[in-house]
Amino acid sequence: MLGKIEHIGIAVKDLTASNELYKKLLGTAAYKQEEVTSENVITSFFKAGENKIELLAATDPDSSIAKFIDKRGEGIHHIAFAVEDIKIELARLEKEGFTILNKEPKRGADNKWIAFLHPKGTNGVLVELCQEIKE
């Protein structure tokens, strides 16, 4: 079973400008900025009460974020759910017929194992599962 919404990911063109914008909106600055080189993205994280907002900007035109913005413009990119055991959940969801984009979870931003489900199977919503890395 999926847990709480861990964060909402928003694709942006200009991370510096969007950091300022979301600081004004949420009333608090980003608490973390992190580049994920394997994904060609740079991210920043904000707290909004119990929830988090992740801004994602491309660092390369081949990044999936750049492609998303070309196609659909800036906006909500994914919804991330916290899970206790990402491998168990991926196996369950695969059995349920969802298309798993990352059968092997990968290291994402914010100290998480992450994996995505194909949005074609989830009413157009890119769903991320994330599990805190405990080492």
Yes or no: say if 55 and 12 are a contact pair by the CB < 8 Å rule. Answer: yes
Q: Does 9 bind Zn ion (CB under 5 A)?
A: yes
Q: Which residue is nearest to Zn ion (CB)?
A: 9
| Candidates 8-16, 27-35, 65-73, 87-95; binding stretch for Zn ion (CB under 5 A) | 8-16
For residue 22, give the nearest of 38, 37, 7, 36 by alpha carbon.
7
Q: Name the segment binding Zn ion (CB under 5 A); options: 27-35, 64-72, 79-87, 88-96.
A: 79-87
Please, which of residues 13-52 interact with Zn ion by CB under 5 A? none
Q: Identify which of residues 9 and 105 has a Cβ nearer to Zn ion in the complex.
A: 9
Distance between CA atoms of residues 74 and 67, nearest Å: 11
Shortest gap between Cβ of 127 and Zn ion (angstroms)?
A: 10
Task: Name 116's bridge partners.
Answer: 128
Among 55, 57, 58, 80, interactor with Zn ion by CB under 5 A? 80
Query: Between the CA of residue 100 and those of 25, 55, 117, 130, what are the distances in Å?
Result: 34, 23, 5, 13
Question: Which chain residues interact with Zn ion by CB under 5 A?
Answer: 9, 54, 80, 128
